Chain A
Amino acid sequence: MRYLPHTPEEIQKMSQAVGVRSPEELFEVIPQALRLKAPLELPKPLSEIDLVRHLKALGRKNETVDGAGSFLGGGAYHHYIPVAVSTITSRGEFMTSYTPYQPEISQGTLQAIFEFQTMIASLTGMDLANAGNYDGASALAEAVLMALRLTDPAKKTVLLAQSIHPDYRQVVKTYLSNIDCRIVEVPFGPDGRVDAAVLKKSLNDEVAVCCVQSPNAFGVVEEVAKLSAAVKGAGAMMVGCFSEAVSLGLLEPMGRQGADIVVGEGASFGNFLNLGGPYLGLFATKKEFVRQMPGRLVGETVDAEGKRGFVLVLSTREQHIRREKATSNICTNQALCALATTVYLSLLGPQGLQKLARINYSHAHYLREGLLKIPGVQRQFAGPHFNEFAVQLSKDPEEVLSKLRQKGILGGIALKSWAPGMERSLLVCATEMNSKAQMDDYVRAMREVL
């Protein structure tokens, strides 16, 4: 047992020093009846060689996005991650350090978070961002809770666009399940965008907050500024959310389109797909709302000698001090994922991110044009999209997907369960990882299948 350093002699000596015959004796504080009598029924221990062999074998039972031409999006996007990102995040000093409660010996983590906050605030068009939430979905739920704290307690309606990713909507419902409020879903129109007329009708003085996603669950870019104006006009708060962070390189930040809080999924910035986690919730807002913000925050200050340094600030909002009155129970910030994002965005720079976003846009555009030439494929929504889009098929999407899969292609996501009336809809995504040849193959395969 290589992780347990004690030799038998040392165990003996230490036991003596403590005044017991053996370590087992120390467990006599546990009442006899509560102690485990038989060994745990677990598989036999493995040596490192066997362990790696076993895990490799498990890994081989999976098909990665590299193996098959993958056109999957829907809240998780396949992007290239420069090697330097892992080089940095693998450093033990980052990977095995504690939460930076002791600033003098955590300046690395603290400064990196400060840089992260700066990047996210700028990308979202907000004054500030926190150090990170669990993922986009829980960040959205926390944003709704924050908005409810910031508005008149008499306002109890939460408007949730139906074009928000279904997992996100479900998480919001879970988080609000014991809060005195009412969730009303706002449908989308034929262009795939929030139905502005219905939204306007839903707005009344009961509404505390309205949430929209852009690009939304179907990849469609929402007219956030127009929606914000209506929402704010009714005295409610506006929350903007996104699941594809790379879109921030192309689209006007929602903070500049009237949103009070902008949240989203940051995994696209330097984090692996990882079957859905760990990911990174991004959370940005305006200065005046900071005291109601959930999660960790880093601020710049000076040390006793006047040197620049960084510390955690406004900790009194958090659970370890405020306990049941805290703004949230969260006590981690996905720090290593946030670090990956900081390194990734540093490598890209402003030009790189904008170019990458345009490449994504062009690829999706190219693929869409190819698919739409096929009889039996129709564009689902007229609204403009970023790197994913929905199409309507002449055949059952599940069947089509399974036939495509036989040709080595992960053709997209059937939208049947996402919203009513989408039995024939398929969500298709293309990123910089999808080459021209791959997309041409996909179009060819689709033509054969339909």
Chain B
Amino acid sequence: MNMIDKPKKAGPGKRGMIFAEPTIFERGAPGRQGYSLPEDEIPAADPAKEIDAALLRHEAPLLPEVSELDVVRHFTRLSQWNYSIDTGLTPLGSCTMKYNPKVNEEVARMSGFVKLHPQAPVADIQGALELMFHLQHYLAVISGMDAATLQPAAGAQGEFAGLLMIRAHHAAQGNPRKKILIPDSAHGTNPASAAACGYKVVTLKTGPDGVLSADAVAAAMDEETAGIMITNPNTLGLFETHMAEIAKLVHDKGGLVYCDGANQNALVGMARVGDMGVDVLHFNLHKTFTTPHGGGGPGSGAVAVKKVLEPYLPVPTVVRRGEHFDWDYDRPKSIGKVKAFFGNFGMLVRAYTYIREMGAEGLRQVSQRAVLNANYVRKSLEADFHLAYPQVCMHECVFSDKIQKKFGVTTADIAKRMMDYGYHPPTIYFPLVVPGALMVETTETESPQTLDRFIKAMKEIARECREEPETVKAAPHVPKVRRLDEVKAAKEPKFVYVPKNP
């Protein structure tokens, strides 16, 4: 097939020099080492004198034997096989892959932050506590809530902590209740977190207009229901217009409202979920507040709550006592701890730095431009790809493969073809309520020129789907590897490297 050179009309995707690189275990030579240990001035103590021989390691672990250059070259080559925000547009819906400012990294790696021991006396970490205290406050201000915890390690753990607080609140009223309402457009973590808190999930159907109707909530809400988990804007990129009414229905039956904050990038500075009846919200600091995604973490899932849930926040919270900052462990109603120590502090430094750089007006501009960009993409591609909900969207819009399916091309094929043009595919096959979904979120940090190039590439792919569907179906052609055999990976699982001559 001579398709490899074809997709060069639009988009930045080109073939460059791609290095072959085996696993690091296949590099190096026995006895080689990439770490310099000091000549020790302390006499070596023989562990065998005190530790039973059976408890001492018998075999050397399987680790590479390589030099520092071997290591640097190996991982640099690996890095070049990755697509990243620093390389190009990453239009993943609901993932908010916006630019990660470099100054955040610089300050987060300052020794005054990275070299702090979690068991250090509070007098030694006043700067860190001050930062955390203010960040707690900023997050509450931004979301219209009363208090916040920075402890959860990621959004999913934030959900878990938030639901535990809801449960603790109900238990304190004498009945923890049994069910949680979750719309069918929710992220998978929502039902998984509800289940982890011992709740039965009641799935609510999204209305024909893409939003949850108050009637659907009224029909399901009762006094055995602990509350609702709602994402606003939802994963269809639409604002839940009945939010206030829904919150009232839930509150009238004694329930509480949980908001999944994954999509806060559409609202910062323009609206606050706390003003919409939400009682608890988790943030994904890596989305709205620019901490890097890192290829899958670390994240940070700060949780903000209304007064009603404040007593249940995980321990410790950060408090100010006069001129000083301190941990507050004296919280008898707390749900306890969800992780050791205090949270992913390194991520908190980055988020704090970003908020201080942007200020109120900067954050307001963030959501305005994120929403403008999304609507620009929506409008520009509406003739080429079917829009599940054609109305004005918030920070993301959801297309589908409905048109392309007629030519035998699916969402997966389109996604793979986008790689050839130099783009990361959007979120695909999610939300589940749109068959063959392509969920596009370009974020506010992308310029109109970048969007225009992306739109042009998408139009070209739409044309290919009509005129040469086989090209699209065989994609990708440009990346280091072609489509991978996932069936083989599942049926003949290889989770670890096995040396040929052990």
- B partners with A: yes
Instruction: From known contacts A93-B86, A350-B63, infer whether A62 and B188 are also in contact, taking CB-CB under 8 Å.
Output: no
Which of B32, B83, B338, B493 is in CB contact (< 8 Å) with A174? B338
B330 at the interface (CB under 8 A from A): no
A window 314-332: CB within 8 A of B: 314, 318-326, 328-332
B40 at the interface (CB under 8 A from A): yes
Instruction: From known contacts A65-B116, A75-B341, A321-B188, infer whether A98 and B127 are also in contact, taking CB-CB under 8 Å.
Output: no
B window 64-82: CB within 8 A of A: 64-66, 68, 71-72, 74-82
A198 at the interface (CB under 8 A from B): no
Contact A332 B297 (CB under 8 A): yes
Which of A35, A223, A277, A355 is in CB contact (< 8 Å) with B342? A277
Which of B160, B243, B394, B484 is in CB contact (< 8 Å) with A303? B484
Which of A44, A88, A117 is in CB contact (< 8 Å) with B72? A88
Q: Pick from A11-19, A151-159, A199-207 the stretch touching chain B.
A: A11-19
Contact A62 B127 (CB under 8 A): yes
Q: Pick from A104-112, A231-239, A441-449 the stretch touching chain B.
A: A104-112
Residues on A with beta carbons closer than 8 Å to the beta carbon of B116: 62, 64-65, 273-275
B500 at the interface (CB under 8 A from A): no
Which of B154, B347, B365, B495 is in CB contact (< 8 Å) with A297? B495
Contact B295 A102 (CB under 8 A): no
Minimum Cβ distance to chain A for residue B69 (Å): 9
A259 at the interface (CB under 8 A from B): no
Interface residues on B, range: 35 or more
Contact B346 A365 (CB under 8 A): no
Which of A64, A171, A249 counts the most B-chain CB atoms under 10 A from its CB?
Answer: A64
Contact B296 A34 (CB under 8 A): no
A355 to B337, CA, bound (A): 35
Contact A358 B44 (CB under 8 A): yes
Contact A42 B82 (CB under 8 A): no
Instruction: From known contacts A302-B488, A333-B296, infer whether A324 and B142 are also in contact, taking CB-CB under 8 Å.
Output: no
Residues on B with beta carbons closer than 8 Å to the beta carbon of A321: 188
Which of A48, A88, A342, A348 is in CB contact (< 8 Å) with B103? A48
A window 119-173: CB within 8 A of B: 119, 121-123, 127-129, 131-132, 134-138, 165, 167-168, 170-171, 173
B299 at the interface (CB under 8 A from A): yes
Residues on B with beta carbons closer than 8 Å to the beta carbon of A318: 188
Instruction: From known contacts A104-B476, A122-B61, infer whether A34 and B336 are also in contact, taking CB-CB under 8 Å.
Output: no
Contact B295 A346 (CB under 8 A): no
Residues on A with beta carbons closer than 8 Å to the beta carbon of B481: 103-104, 107, 303, 307, 309
B358 at the interface (CB under 8 A from A): yes
Instruction: From known contacts A66-B115, A92-B84, A351-B31, infer whether A178 and B295 are also in contact, taking CB-CB under 8 Å.
Output: no
Minimum Cβ distance to chain A for residue B189 (Å): 5
Contact A62 B112 (CB under 8 A): yes
A30 to B297, CA, bound (A): 32
Which of A61, A93, A249 is in CB contact (< 8 Å) with B57? A249
Residues on A with beta carbons closer than 8 Å to the beta carbon of B270: 27, 30, 35-36
Contact A122 B63 (CB under 8 A): yes
Minimum Cβ distance to chain B for residue A264 (Å): 11
Minimum Cβ distance to chain A for residue B346 (Å): 5
Contact A296 B117 (CB under 8 A): no
A18 to B193, CA, bound (A): 38
A135 to B152, CA, bound (A): 11
Q: Pick from B253-261, B369-377, B461-469 the stretch touching chain A.
A: B369-377
Minimum Cβ distance to chain B for residue A314 (Å): 7
Residues on A with beta carbons closer than 8 Å to the beta carbon of B164: 174, 177-178
Mark interface residues in A42-70 (1 if CB within 8 Å of B CB, else 0): 11111010011011111111111110101
Instruction: From known contacts A34-B243, A252-B56, A361-B47, infer whether A324 and B195 are also in contact, taking CB-CB under 8 Å.
Output: yes
Residues on A with beta carbons closer than 8 Å to the beta carbon of B98: 3
Contact B86 A275 (CB under 8 A): no
**Nearest CB in chain B to that of A141: its residue:** B338
Which of B92, B189, B476 counts the most A-chain CB atoms under 10 A from its CB?
Answer: B189
Residues on B with beta carbons closer than 8 Å to the beta carbon of A61: 112, 126-128, 130
Instruction: From known contacts A65-B116, A86-B109, A275-B113, infer whether A128 and B495 are also in contact, taking CB-CB under 8 Å.
Output: yes
Contact A436 B375 (CB under 8 A): no
Contact B343 A276 (CB under 8 A): yes
A74 at the interface (CB under 8 A from B): yes
B window 246-296: CB within 8 A of A: 269-272, 275-276, 290, 292-296
A362 at the interface (CB under 8 A from B): yes
Which of A45, A279, A413 is in CB contact (< 8 Å) with B356? A45
A253 at the interface (CB under 8 A from B): yes
**Nearest CB in chain A to that of B496: its residue:** A118
Contact A46 B117 (CB under 8 A): no
Which of B83, B113, B192, B357 is in CB contact (< 8 Å) with A97? B83
Contact B488 A301 (CB under 8 A): yes
B361 at the interface (CB under 8 A from A): yes
A432 to B78, CA, bound (A): 31
Which of B21, B191, B300, B430 is in CB contact (< 8 Å) with A324? B191
Which of B57, B187, B191, B345 counts the most A-chain CB atoms under 10 A from its CB?
Answer: B57
Contact A1 B358 (CB under 8 A): yes
Minimum Cβ distance to chain B for residue A32 (Å): 10
A46 to B103, CA, bound (A): 12
A94 to B74, CA, bound (A): 13
Minimum Cβ distance to chain A for residue B437 (Å): 13
A313 to B484, CA, bound (A): 12
Which of A39, A59, A82 counts the most B-chain CB atoms under 10 A from its CB?
Answer: A59
Instruction: From known contacts A42-B355, A359-B40, infer whether A178 and B445 are also in contact, taking CB-CB under 8 Å.
Output: no
Contact A276 B124 (CB under 8 A): no
Residues on B with beta carbons closer than 8 Å to the beta carbon of A132: 297
A13 to B373, CA, bound (A): 12
Contact A98 B494 (CB under 8 A): no
Instruction: From known contacts A59-B127, A275-B113, infer whether A346 and B341 are also in contact, taking CB-CB under 8 Å.
Output: no
A304 to B486, CA, bound (A): 11
Instruction: From known contacts A5-B447, A43-B356, A138-B339, infer whether A103 and B484 are also in contact, taking CB-CB under 8 Å.
Output: yes
A100 to B119, CA, bound (A): 35
Contact A55 B359 (CB under 8 A): no
Minimum Cβ distance to chain A for residue B59 (Å): 9
By Cβ-Cβ distance, the 5 closest A-B pairs, closest first, are A59-B112, A276-B341, A92-B86, A61-B127, A45-B359
* Selected A-B contacts with CB under 8 Å, 16 pairs: A29-B391, A40-B141, A40-B364, A42-B355, A55-B107, A62-B124, A64-B115, A97-B293, A104-B481, A104-B483, A138-B157, A178-B198, A277-B153, A313-B495, A335-B298, A365-B45
Task: Give me 11 other A-B pairs in contact (C-beta within 8 A), A97-B85, A335-B294 excluded.
Answer: A3-B444, A39-B364, A40-B363, A72-B117, A98-B92, A277-B342, A303-B484, A303-B485, A336-B297, A337-B297, A351-B31
